[in-house]
Amino acid sequence: MTDLVLQALREIVPVTRGRLNLGGRMLRWVESGTGAPAVILIAGRNDTALSWGPVLAALAGRTRAVAYDRAGLGDSDPDPKILSAERTVADLSRLINVVSAGRCVVAGHSYGGLLALMLAAAHLDQLSGLVLVDPALPGLMDWLPRPPRVQALVTDAYLACADWPHALASYREGQGIVASERSIRRSLAAPVNSGLPTAVISATEGGPSRIRRRWTALHAALAAERGATHIIAEGSGHAVPLDRPVLVAETILGLTRALPPQ
């Protein structure tokens, strides 16, 4: 992490930093607290560990929490390959092997929630629970234009708007999401019989009301399918970890308290 990130976070919560060598590129994280199970925090698309600062503060002294930067974002090195969702989940799985002595609780916001679901589908043995914070779901990808040529034009238009490294990494992650759409849907389409304790948090504000209703309806359907708790974050926009950090932290802690000792 850059000194400025550490300085900012340390104003609100004691954090240390760590790094994982993934074949010549570094994945970096910050962590605070002690205890088990560890809580892994996955930021939304185009966001970093810093977005979890208020939640880290709310969790301080109550459990161990790890917030990391995906490849090319924040202080983590870029991946030379297109960041398919599967490749990103593989990075996350390797991180968990390093930072958690056993099964962990994973909390993912937005695209991070989708990654958390994919992690559960591929690496259930690493998880003891999920907290999905206003998660992006495959049904929300239906707005994407289908012809590959149009998809390429859309992503190229995003790239033309900014050319700094972080924006480029975000663009490349967006390319990976589009390229991974079929495998994302396939990964999450299998019947769910895991019994994995899960909570889903939905925002209520922000964006066109039609899309917000669609978003929340998908969350409700997911919660019903998985026997999960569905929580409505009244008054919160999509950035729930910033708008309602105590709610997110208490949801995480409530789930960890209900788990059997490791």
pLDDT digits (tens, 9 = 90+) for 130-178: 999 999 887 765 554 555 665 566 455 544 444 456 666 766 677 777 6
Please state, in angstroms and as integers, the Cα–Cα distance from residue 235 to each residue in 106, 202, 207, 243, 258, following that order.
24, 10, 13, 8, 27
Count Cβ atoms within 10 A of the Cβ of residue 168 and give its class: 0-12 exposed, 13-18 middle, 19 or more buried.
middle
Mean pLDDT, rounded, of the chain: 85
Residue 45 has pLDDT above 70, yes or no: yes
**Coil/strand/helix, residue 105:** strand
* Rounded-to-integer distance, Cα 43 and Cα 39, Å: 13
Binning the chain into helix, strand and coil, the percentages to the nearest 5 are: 50, 15, 35
Whether pTM exceeds 0.75: yes
Confidence of residue 185 (pLDDT cuts 50, 70, 90): confident
Confidence of residue 42 (pLDDT cuts 50, 70, 90): very high
**Coil/strand/helix, residue 108:** strand
SS in 3 state form for 168-189? Answer: HHHHHHHHHHHHCHHHHHHHHH
| Averaged pLDDT for residues 44-67 | 91
* Rounded-to-integer distance, Cα 82 and Cα 71, Å: 10
Least confident of 85-89, 133-137, 163-167, 246-250: 163-167
Nearest to 55 by CA among 15, 26, 20, 89: 15
Angle of CA points 7, 12, 13, to nearest 5°: 90
Q: Is-contact 81 68, C-beta < 8 A?
A: no
Structural domains of the chain, with CATH: 3-257 (3.40.50.1820)
Confidence of residue 66 (pLDDT cuts 50, 70, 90): very high
